[in-house]
Amino acid sequence: MKHTGSCHCKAISFEFEGPEIDSGLRCNCSICVRKGAVMTAFIVDPDEMYIDDKQGLLEHYEFGSGVARHYFCRACGIYPFHQTLRKKDHYRINIGCLENIDSLSIPYEIFNGASL
């Protein structure tokens, strides 16, 4: 099914194809624990991700190996999605940025990213 989302100021919006979202994922690695977001348990193929960033406000942060890319909006600071360490160029999405889903009412698992 198609999911749509945006950052807080809506400068960045996005769409992707994925399964129905009935659970999420949180991670205890050094950056995820600071964001505190509930992410998609599945990853999104780059071919199935459409990002609309007309104002060029999408920025990303890298650390460590530089494989993962942690995106944020330069206007509102919100993290909408990142490209994962585990599967290069593939996305996990911040469920809190999606329409029609309450990210705080779905169950989630905790991924032990701190151990990597």
For residue 78, the minimal CB distance to Zn ion (Å) is 6
**Closer to Zn ion by Cβ: residue 31 or 76:** 76
Single residue of 3, 5, 11, 41 touching Zn ion by CB under 5 A: 11
**In 92-111, which positions are buried (b, 16+ CB within 10 angstroms) versus exposed (e)?**
bbbbbbbeebebeeeebeeb
**Residue of 114, 95, 19, 1 lying closest to 82 (CA atoms):** 95
Single residue of 29, 31, 51, 76 touching Zn ion by CB under 5 A: 76
x/- map, 34-73, Zn ion, by CB under 5 A: ---------------------------------------x
> If binding is defined by CB under 5 A, does position 7 make contact with Zn ion?
yes
**Residue of 53, 71, 46, 49 lying closest to 12 (CA atoms):** 53
Q: Round to whole Å and give the CA distance between 23 and 40.
A: 8
Per the structure block, which two tokens stand in for 96?
Answer: 């809190």
For residue 48, the minimal CB distance to Zn ion (Å) is 22
Helix (H, G, I), strand (E, B) or coil at 34: helix
What letter would DSSP give residue 47? G
**Closer to Zn ion by Cβ: residue 7 or 44:** 7
| # binding residues, Zn ion (CB under 5 A) | 6
Give the interface with Zn ion as residue ranges (CB under 5 A): 7, 9, 11, 73, 75-76
